[in-house]
Amino acid sequence: MQAMSRMTDLPSALMLARQLAQRDRHLGSALLLGHKSEHAPAERHRLQESRASSSEPTTESAVQVSAQVSSLPYIPALSEERSVQEEFPHADTGSNTTETIPSPPIPGEPVPSINALFAEVNTFAKAHGFGIIKANGVIRPGQRSRYVFQCDRYGIQRPGRGAGIRKRKSRKSGCQWKIVAEALPENGSQWTLRHFPNTKHHQHNHKPSADAAAHPVHRRLTSPVKAIVQSSSRRVGIRARDIGGIVRDHFPDSVYTQRDIYNARARINREHLGGYCSTAALIKLFDDKEIPYVAEWAEDEPDRLVGLV
């Protein structure tokens, strides 16, 4: 019986709790409404004062702020900037000025040979981010007395004639810079420089190179460098990278790459072997000594040796 009485009391307790919660909710809403109505006159009064102050004449501080704003520079909107660019599509909005590459001193100091003059101009070119090549030699009674030094990016790139696998990118950029090197009788047959009459040959059309190694003329193997590569290659197990470090220690201004050192070693070896590679030189030695041997050649490449017994 007690359990039944508890079951009957439970719904009445829940109903009482719901009524109390609803009464508290109504009471809170009434208090909030009363608070808003109490502060409404003050809010209306403050709003009227702000409207009245905004209609009064401008104060001194407001004048100062207005003057400061009017003194600011005008910055066009993005849409205005676009309209200006569309009206003048070729106008340069930036300061991208191309660095001008200077020419060597002309006529310069007379030198006794063309090689000495070429080395002098090439040193100048290396220091100023370009390279030169020697072309168009002219022979006057008995000897060459005129050459043209031109930028190694001279001329327009032409499509290759062959369809080889190795596609090499041309360095030509349409540059027209070139100068004349000549040995005149009035200079005692000493070599000097002069400009071409046409001014289009006085300026380069490209920026100076950031690295002199970009120009093969600055990586040509000289006799002193060749001697160091040759002597260093006699060491057992030495690599091209190590030889490159030795070359840089002796010639800090050199710009030889690892591939240049590797090619120099191969060229020196071929010179020692009479122009043959190591395998061809060995076969030639067998032939000269009449030593019998059996050579096996690749089936797909008849010129490639795969075995020698």
pLDDT digits (tens, 9 = 90+) for 23-37: 656 555 655 555 555
Structure tokens at 178: 């070139």
Q: 111-115, 269-273, 296-300, 303-307: which has the minimum mean pLDDT?
A: 303-307
HEC profile of 23-61: HHHHHHHHHHHHHHHHHHHHHHHHHHHHHHHHCCCCCHH
Summary mean pLDDT of the chain: 73
Res 44: pLDDT: 58
What phi-psi label fits residue 178: left (phi over 0), alpha (psi between -120 and 50 degrees) or beta?
A: beta
Residue 151 has pLDDT above 80, yes or no: yes
Q: For residue 291, what are the contacts with CB-CB under 8 A and spacing of at least 6?
A: 285
Taking the C-alpha atoms of residue 308 and residue 303, their distance in angstroms, rounded to an integer, is: 13
Q: Are 236 and 273 in contact (CB under 8 A)?
A: no
Highest averaged pLDDT of the listed ranges 56-65, 129-138, 195-204: 195-204
Burial of 212 (0-12, 13-18, 19+ CB in 10 A): buried
Closest of 188, 107, 198, 182 to residue 138, by C-alpha: 182
Whole-structure pTM over 0.85, yes or no? no
Domain boundaries, the chain: 114-158+170-207, 221-272, 279-309
| Residue 104, number of CB atoms within 10 A of its CB | 18
**Are residues 243 and 233 in contact, defined by beta-carbon separation less than 8 angstroms?**
yes
Gap between the Cα atoms of 54 and 39, Å rounded: 23
* Whole-angstrom distance, CA of residue 109 vs CA of residue 246: 34
Continuous segment of H or E residues that includes residue 148? strand 143-151
Question: Which phi and psi (to 5°) does residue 303 adopt?
Answer: -90, 0
